[in-house]
Chain A
Amino acid sequence: MSESIIRRTITRLMVPFIQLFALYVIVHGDSGPGGGFQGGVILGASFILYAIVFGSEAGRKRAPRAVTDILASTGALIYAGIGLLCLLLGSAFLDYRALPFEDPHLAGHYGILGIEIGVGMTVAAVMVTIFFETARRNDEGEVENG
């Protein structure tokens, strides 16, 4: 855990806003810059910032190993699942117009929202996983402060 009270306070203050911004970027991928990939990276970075300041054990409490493992595969599954759903509904793979909404534009909107959420989940979970598995842990000697 970081000694500096400034670092801890600022982090505690900033993390919710960073995560809110990440979710905003994920769900607004179809109307503005960004999307699942960028939003997922920002979401993952918020957990990494928390872990750098409060230590990897506290960070792992906020993003448990079991949760990130499941999210990483669920995101890719959602993406491929929406594609398969379009296929089962009698259209081409990932042709969102086949989705059961009255308006094909609405179907495209929701289809893309779905895959953006899938991409965001996978990217955020994998980034957090890579950080926690790569960085030196507290019980391995010298603590890395970032």
Chain B
Amino acid sequence: MIDILLLTLLVLCALAAVEMKDLLSAGIVLSAYSLLMAVVWTQLNAVDVAFTEASVGAGITTVLLIAAISRTDRREVFVSRVRREVPSLVLMLLTAAVLVYGTLDMPAFRDPGAPANHHVAPRYVEGSEHEVGVVNMVTAILAAYRGYDTLGETTVIFTAGVSVILLLRRRQRE
């Protein structure tokens, strides 16, 4: 019941964010979207993901969007061209149909026989506390089993910071 309510609100937020012409409001609606998404993750018992969604999606992304809006116009310029809208609608429906078709073969939700629950997952579930020595399984996977990937992610963030400095920072002596 609450799932249906949350999903309905999610769709409403997404539509509102697309339809709004005021970019600041659209950014804030996206923040609400992320907060709802965090509740959905909590419903699925994925607290680590929920935490990330709440802090990154609802928190910092909104602020960075607002910072970007402060550099540009707050109102969206809307140009309506029917000739362009019809092909994009057809393309969007086709893509959606392909995506839905792709989900048909996926195992049922919470299926214990799903491949995702059989490959490396049992090793993580049984071994993480003993092999790594931390009780939070998600942290054990991120920091130990997949530590190399997390190092890559940290480097990506560092690179993003360096790029922003190179592109936007004003030189001291001008």
Q: How large is the interface on B (under 10, 10 to 19, 20 to 34, 35 or more residues)?
A: 35 or more
A106 to B132, CA, bound (A): 9
**B contacts, CB < 8 Å to A:** 47-48, 50-52, 55-56, 59-60, 63-64, 66-68, 70-71, 131-136, 138-140, 142-144, 147-148, 150-151, 153-155, 157-158, 160-162, 164-165, 168-169
- Chain B residue nearest in CB terms to A119: B154
- Chain B residue nearest in CB terms to A123: B157
**A contacts, CB < 8 Å to B:** 25, 29-35, 37-38, 41-42, 44-45, 48, 52, 69, 72-73, 75-76, 79-80, 83, 93-94, 96, 103-109, 111-112, 115-116, 118-119, 122-123, 125-127, 129-131, 133-136, 144, 146
Residues of B within 8 A of A116 (CB): 139, 143
On whether the beta carbons of A115 and B150 are closer than 8 Å, the reply is: yes
| 28 examples of A-B residue contacts, CB within 8 angstroms | A29-B139, A30-B136, A34-B48, A35-B142, A42-B59, A45-B55, A45-B59, A48-B63, A75-B154, A76-B155, A79-B150, A79-B154, A80-B151, A83-B151, A94-B151, A96-B144, A109-B134, A115-B151, A116-B143, A126-B161, A129-B164, A133-B165, A134-B70, A134-B71, A135-B71, A136-B70, A144-B70, A146-B63
On whether the beta carbons of A35 and B158 are closer than 8 Å, the reply is: no
- Chain B residue nearest in CB terms to A35: B139
Distance between A83 CB and nearest chain B CB, rounded to angstroms:
7
